[in-house]
Amino acid sequence: MKKINAAIIGYGNIGRYVLNALESAPDFKVAGIVRREATPIEGINYPVVTDVTALKDVDIAILCVPSRHIKAYATEMLEKGIHTVDSFDIHTDIAAMRRELDVIAKKNNRSAIISAGWDPGSDSIIRTLLLAAAPKGITYTNFGPGMSMGHSTAVKAIDGVKDALSMTIPIGTGQHRRMVYIEIEEGLDFETVKSTILNDDYFKKDDTVIQQVDSIEPLKDAGHGVTITRKGVSGSTDNQLFEFDMRVNNPALTAQILVSTARAATKQMPGAYTMIEIPIIDLLPGDRDELITALV
């Protein structure tokens, strides 16, 4: 079996878990890690480079970079003839980014799967299935309580923030509060930094509470979760109630979904996709007939 040669782009929290998931997968091998500096990483024996072209025969790039940088990285990789997968999580921008990357992917005869984390991503599949089961009704997605990696990263990128943690607290019926804890650089004004955060796209539509702390470290916990509830109608039958619930290590699950979706990306026709558009069986390794026999 020819293994899929995967490059990890970015080696932060997600990148580390992606490496672990790739090493555990039977059909992948690690081509190397691309980061801003090509300094060796303790305990890592794979090539560490600053440009993906320094790696050999890369089939797919797994983008482990902040959401605001994903489009640029995806464009670069696709134009170099490399499939891509990412966990872009700015929900309101997903459709537009898919349209833009679709043109680039088709032009370069490659595929890109975007927003392949657990939400958006695998949770999107759950919501789609529940909609098919009860076409009329209401779905509520309640996140947390837990650390939001995307929101935490967004806060860390704001000038004056030394470190940050954004917690998502469910308050019911799909509504959430963002509890944001920040360390700020010495000499900077907390109220100025706070105002910038509140006006950021990640936070300006949410109920957000910001607190200054001396250190983020004692507050960190990678646990997260989601409960998806749909109450609706199947045909003309009322009172159909469905609930999906999970409690997870956030970066570990995101990384595993990225690796599974990277596998699927190599099986698609050229173009850009979200997870609800690809055959779910393509996420799995192994013989298709054997998978159908085991799972259907």
> Residue 198 is part of a domain; what is its CATH number?
3.30.360.10
Give the β-pairing of 237-249 and 271-273: unpaired
Domain-embedded: residue 126: no
Q: Quick one: how many helices (H) and strands (E) in the chain? A: 8, 14
pLDDT tens, residue by residue, 211-239 = 999 999 999 999 999 999 999 999 999 99
Which amino acid, 99?
R
Domain-embedded: residue 239: no
237 token code pair? 């039958």
Based on the fold, state whether residues 200 and 163 are members of the same structural domain: yes
Mean pLDDT for the stretch of residues 15-36: 98
Domain-embedded: residue 240: no
Domain-embedded: residue 217: yes
| pLDDT band at residue 193 under the 50/70/90 scheme | very high
The pTM is what? Answer: 0.94
Handedness of CA 101, 94, 18, 245 (dihedral sign): negative
Domain-embedded: residue 127: no
Q: 61 near 84, Cβ under 8 Å?
A: yes
Based on the fold, state whether residues 140 and 70 are members of the same structural domain: no
| Cα–Cα distance for residue pair 56/271, rounded to 1 Å | 24
Give the model's pLDDT for residue 123: 98
Based on the fold, state whether residues 17 and 114 are members of the same structural domain: yes
Helices (H), 134-287: 149-156, 190-198, 250-265
Which domain, by its residues, includes 154? 136-234
Domain-embedded: residue 130: no
Domain-embedded: residue 103: yes
List the one residue out of 159, 134, 153 whose CA is nearest residue 240. Answer: 134
Bridge partners, 49 (sequence order): 34
Q: Which CATH number characterizes residue 286's domain?
A: 3.40.50.720
Based on the fold, state whether residues 21 and 96 are members of the same structural domain: yes
Domain end among 201, 234, 267 = 234
Please check the confidence at residue 1 and state whether its pLDDT lies above 80: no
Based on the fold, state whether residues 149 and 100 are members of the same structural domain: no
Q: CA angle 120-125-131, nearest 5°?
A: 115
Least confident of 38-42, 241-245, 287-291: 38-42
Based on the fold, state whether residues 105 and 192 are members of the same structural domain: no
Based on the fold, state whether residues 75 and 12 are members of the same structural domain: yes
H or E element in which residue 171 lies: strand 161-172
Domain end among 210, 234, 258 = 234
% residues pLDDT > 90 (the chain): 97
| Cα–Cα distance for residue pair 258/18, rounded to 1 Å | 7
Give the β-pairing of 111-113 and 271-273: parallel
Based on the fold, state whether residues 93 and 144 are members of the same structural domain: no
Domain-embedded: residue 21: yes
pLDDT tens, residue by residue, 92-143 = 999 999 999 999 999 999 999 999 999 999 999 999 999 999 999 999 999 9
Based on the fold, state whether residues 78 and 47 are members of the same structural domain: yes
Handedness of CA 246, 247, 248, 250 (dihedral sign): positive
Mean pLDDT for the stretch of residues 134-153: 96
Could you give the number of structural domains in the chain? Answer: 2
3-state SS assignment for residue 166: strand
Based on the fold, state whether residues 19 and 110 are members of the same structural domain: yes
Based on the fold, state whether residues 87 and 46 are members of the same structural domain: yes
Give every strand in the sheet of 28-34, ordered side by side. 48-49, 28-34, 4-9, 60-63, 83-86, 111-113, 271-273
Contacts of 255 (CB under 8 A, 6+ apart): 14, 17, 18, 20, 21, 64
Based on the fold, state whether residues 25 and 102 are members of the same structural domain: yes
